[in-house]
Amino acid sequence: MSGAALQETQQPASLARRVLLQGKYEALTMLRNGEQLILAIVLPLLALVGLTVTPFLDGMGSSRINVAVPGILALCAMSTAFTGQGIATGFDRRYGVLRFLSTTPLGRGGLIAGKVLSVLAVLCIQVVVVGLVALALGWQPTAAGWLPGLALLALGAAAFTALGLLVAGTVRPEATLAITNLLWILLGAMGGIVIPAERLPAAAQAVVHFL
């Protein structure tokens, strides 16, 4: 092999390809983790069905399923971006994976971009699964709301990813596990995400607006 050919074969992959491969790896890791699948898919679906078959959302100006779906999709974004990434990154930090990856050609920026990409990929799967189940339950989304809804969902996923990385980079992995799961429950139940503030007691609505 000539020197020119050898040099060509040793050229590093482009940054976009490195980020894409890292995102693919992170997404597959999340999807292969049974605990993550329960948090990302099973629990949101159970909440969706529960809100649909109970009268809790009656009187909200629309059908139960139409009121429930946006909150469930937001819960999906929070479970994948905040809880899932927070826990995974916390333990990657403990075992030295972050330090190793940050010194590779991927770099810190590429690592963060890969994590965001993996969150968006898993979120797309969540939207499809939740959307199909919701349609089977009678969901009737308006066409005009799809584009802004998906854009806000992506922005929310990016914000929750940043928050999850902040927690994972600040406290120990065990504390990250406890904090992210506790906040997931707290924000889901009392943050106005799944249950609208109007359906909560007056005393609890102040907590909702604060969260």
pLDDT tens string 34-72: 888 888 899 999 999 998 998 888 877 788 899 899 999
The burial class, CB within 10 Å (0-12 / 13-18 / 19+), for 181 is middle
Give residue 138's region: left, alpha or beta (phi > 0; psi -120 to 50). left
Q: Check pLDDT > 70 for residue 9.
A: no
| pTM score, whole prediction | 0.84
> How many whole angstroms separate alpha carbon 157 and alpha carbon 83?
11
Average pLDDT of 76-82? 92
**Residue 117 CB neighbours (<10 A):** 18
Please, are residues 81 and 164 in contact by the beta-carbon 8 Å criterion? Answer: yes
Average pLDDT of 178-198? 84
> How many whole angstroms separate alpha carbon 81 and alpha carbon 94?
19
